[in-house]
Amino acid sequence: MKHFEFEWQTADGLQLFAQGWQPEAAIQGVVCLVHGLGEHSGRYAQVAAALSQAGYALLAFDLRGHGKSQGQRGHTPSYEALMDDIAHLLEEARKRFPDQPCFLYGFSMGGNLVLNYALRHRPQLAGVIATSPWLRLAFEPPAWKVTLAKIMNNLWPAFSTLTGLDINAVSHDPEVVQNYNNDPLTHGRISVRLFVSISQAAQSALQHAAQFPLPLLLMHGSADRIASAEASRQFADCVPGDCTFKLWQGLYHEIHNEPEQQEVLDSIITWLQAHTPP
């Protein structure tokens, strides 16, 4: 497996860090990954290894305000800025792997982003994978916090606060939790602009699921205490075309980092192979 790193500058002047992994042998296709809130692309090396073994390249970037990318931690000036960043990643995939089928894969907040990207931009892709997407939170945030966020979104959109998420809820594997806590590139912040933007986009995605234009693999852990598995089921139930929904019994938020991760990754690869043109 070959590993490489690259960067690009956004329209508003931020340097975004990106990296890729590709098989030594022939490539069957390329997967573009969008990670979740507070984490970074480097946490997907084991996903890249599994995909590479199956013949797929993986391209990923650190979202603005995350990982090795520039920007205020956990902030975006707008939802469209995130859409533009995903568009650039897809352009990189097409430049680096021309004529290869391209898939878009998002986890958690990244799942929210890739579902909305497909709905809003209707890209020419072989398919979309969303795992544990943030379509609704699995808990009810205090009403006063939500109200305050909406007010602050107009007054001071960059105002940020701690997410307060329970990191123990990401995986049953204590090593994954420990590594997350000790990782200098993870953070626990979110700005009011990012929170309001993602929340509004989540509602929009659920309202427009019947217009989803691409083959979709949607997977969620039934014991996810961060993002709602039921919201994923509702989305999948409304998709009119090629949609595979899989609920992993008892799994937490990061289904790719659970003790059952090999089964999860095998399911992703099987779906990719079924949707890769001969």
Which residues are designated catalytic? 108, 224, 253
Query: Which element (helix H / strand E) includes 103?
Result: strand 102-107
Helix (H, G, I), strand (E, B) or coil at 152: helix
CA atoms within a 13 Å half-sphere pointing along the CA-CB vector of 154: 4
Distances (CA, A) of 265 to 44, 105, 151, 182, 261: 12, 12, 41, 25, 6
What is the distance between the alpha carbons of residues 105 and 99, in angstroms, rounded to a whole number? Answer: 19
- Name the token pair of 250: 């008892």
Helix (H, G, I), strand (E, B) or coil at 10: coil
Backbone angles phi, psi at 37, to 5 degrees: -65, 135
Do the Cβ atoms of 12 and 64 come closer than 8 Å? Answer: no
What is the distance between the alpha carbons of residues 163 and 175, in angstroms, rounded to a whole number? Answer: 22
What is the distance between the alpha carbons of residues 57 and 51, in angstroms, rounded to a whole number? Answer: 7
